[in-house]
Amino acid sequence: MTQVIVLNGGSSSGKSGIVRCLQAVLPDPWLALGTDTLVEAMPASMQTSDGGIGFGSDGEVVVGPEFRTLEAAWLEGVAAMARAGARVIVDEVFLGGADSQQRWRKALGELPVLWVGVRCDGAVAAGREVARGDRIIGMAASQAEAVHRGVEYDLEVDTAHAESMECARSIAAHVK
């Protein structure tokens, strides 16, 4: 039985909308956790130190060793919740592509995981980014393809061609 669904896609690709729709269509309760949750939980000082997480004016995201330490604990914590019986949807941005997926694979271990790539054309994501008004311009375009490099998926959806609910139903059909 699927215990964890990992959605990976760039900024403004539509992951959060899909997560909300998944929670509505899946028959059991699923927790929604993601990289934004992790960043919001960190002290503000983590965004001003070289060891934390930084956002460049062009949308570049740089992470340091203190961020990686907290991220490792976060991954283990999410995995522990799943091992304790919670079904979890992870809303993630694999900044390191395959290396990011490997960190998750290590933490999740033997848990049954559905790996989902959330694709969105960079220009479409960039338009959403501007419309949202709460993102650094350039982040969506720079992440649109980079987050998928070397990543292996069980399923891919494309939010430039399908609405969130349609994507969620497609994903839900693959949940065991």
Catalogue the active-site residues: 36
Provide the edge-to-edge strand list for the sheet that holds 155-158: 31-34, 88-92, 4-8, 113-119, 155-158
Q: Residue 172 half-sphere exposure, CB side, CA atoms within 13 Å?
A: 19
Residue 60: strand, helix, or coil: coil
Three-point CA angle 27, 30, 33, nearest 5°: 155
For residues 151 and 94, the answer to whether their CB atoms sit within 8 Å is yes
